[in-house]
Amino acid sequence: MQDVAEGPDQSITNPLSRTRPWMKFIAVMGFIGCGLMMLEFLFVLFGLPASMFAGKDLPHGVIFLMLLFYLASAIFAYLIPSILLMRAAGALDGIERKGTLETLAEAAERQRKFWKYYGVLVIVGICLFLLFVVGAAIMLPILAAAHLH
């Protein structure tokens, strides 16, 4: 039996520590994705949507929804998960430095928070997608009928 004072067994901490570079890589890619989403937000905010290049103006409501989508995506789908993942990777650094059961517990808790957040994000994304599909199924016949008259 392992003595608690010795800290966690290397057979547990080594595989976790080897995930740290990947966690940091994915977090950095998330920060880059957040930056790109914010850049798109700025393009739309300053009136450069793709439809303007085709000679058509979008209704203000559509532009507002696009702005809301880009801002929400940047924050909730990129920034927050990247911060949580970077914190989890940082906790794995603590395992190598201190090597205590407390640091292992902290790393596990930070990973739990990341996966809980990401799971809720996936559920919300699926619900929003289904809502969009139902909305489109309802609105398309109405728009088509209005176009015929």
Q: pLDDT tens digits for 83-104? A: 999 999 999 988 888 878 898 8
- Please state, as a whole number, how many other Cβ atoms lie within 10 Å of the Cβ of residue 99: 14
Q: How far apart are the first and last CA of the chain?
A: 81
63 touches 44 (CB < 8 A): yes
Q: Global pTM?
A: 0.80
Q: In degrees to the nearest 10, what's the CA dihedral of 82, 85, 87, 92?
A: -150
| Domains in the chain: boundaries | 8-148
Per-residue pLDDT tens digits for 64-88:
888 999 999 999 999 999 999 999 9
Q: How far apart are alpha carbons 17 and 9 in whole angstroms?
A: 12
81 touches 114 (CB < 8 A): yes
Give all strands (DSSP E) within the chain, no chain letters: none
Average pLDDT, the chain: 87
- Residue owning tokens 């696009």: 66
- Residue owning tokens 């994304």: 125
- Please state, as a whole number, how many other Cβ atoms lie within 10 Å of the Cβ of residue 43: 14
Q: Which of 82, 20, 62, 69 is nearest to 40 (CA)?
A: 69
The pLDDT value recorded for residue 3 is 45
